[in-house]
């Protein structure tokens, strides 16, 4: 069984210090796996986040709403969306009433990519959660929510 002490070859002064280091270490470990996984789709984590938000929103969504919903807040979300437009994965349109407002919508090509991604994602990326129960996952998730209160 892996442990943070073995991974980092150190001990911690107390359990709360160990928790913060373990959260940071595990977060980076998951993000690195996810980033590596997305390379085969030629897409970044932030681009994938925008695609998933666009799919969930369904129709034309204001870019400001998309920015608010992003897991990893990106001040350059408009530039990231522009890359998705170039790839044909989303469409972009300006408001007729206020030209400063930009709307985006996922394309069929974007939906097809997400469908393919979802299947591969379930089969490989989240395999590391196979060794915990749903009850344990819920407990950890609830504790993480409490940390952000």
Closest by CA to 110, choosing from 133, 137, 90, 128, is 90
Tens digit of each residue's pLDDT (9 = 90 or more) over 64-101: 999 999 988 877 888 999 999 999 999 999 888 888 88
- For residue 85, the model assigns a pLDDT of 97
E strands, 12-101, in order? 61-62, 90-94
Question: pLDDT per residue over 7-18, tens digit each?
Answer: 888 888 999 998
Q: Rounded to 10 degrees, what is the CA torsion of 60, 63, 64, 66?
A: 80
Its sign, for the CA torsion 31, 37, 43, 47, is negative
Which sequence spans correspond to the domains of the chain? Answer: 43-124
Q: What is the pLDDT of residue 1?
A: 55
Residues 63 and 79 sit within 8 Å (Cβ to Cβ): no
* Interacting residues of 11 by C-beta distance below 8 A, sequence separation 6+: 5
Q: What is the pLDDT of residues 23-43, one digit of tens each?
A: 999 899 888 988 888 898 899
Q: How confident is the model at residue 125 (pLDDT cuts 50, 70, 90)?
A: low
Residue 50, pLDDT score: 95
Provide, rounded to the nearest whole percent, the portion of the chain with pLDDT above 70: 98
- Is the model's pTM score more than 0.75? yes
Taking a C-beta distance cutoff of 8 angstroms, is the pair 84, 102 a contact? Answer: no
Q: What is the CATH architecture assignment of 43-124?
A: Orthogonal Bundle (1.10)
Mean pLDDT along residues 118-127: 77
Q: What is the rounded CA–CA span in Å between residue 112 and residue 41?
A: 12
């Amino acid at each position: 069984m892996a442990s943070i002490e073995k991974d980092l070859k150190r001990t911690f002064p107390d359990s709360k210090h160990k928790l913060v280091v373990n959260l940071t270490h595990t977060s980076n470990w998951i993000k690195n796996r996810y980033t590596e996984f997305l390379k085969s789709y030629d897409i970044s984590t932030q681009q994938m986040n925008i695609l998933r938000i666009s799919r969930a929103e369904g129709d034309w969504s204001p870019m400001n709403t998309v920015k608010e919903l992003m897991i990893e807040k990106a001040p350059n979300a408009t530039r990231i969306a522009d890359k998705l437009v170039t790839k044909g994965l989303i469409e972009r349109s300006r408001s007729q009433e206020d030209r400063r407002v930009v709307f985006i919508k996922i394309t069929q090509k974007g939906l097809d990519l997400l469908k393919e991604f979802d299947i591969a994602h379930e089969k490989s990326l989240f395999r590391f959660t196979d060794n915990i129960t749903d009850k344990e996952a819920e407990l950890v998730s609830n504790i993480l929510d409490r940390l952000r209160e």
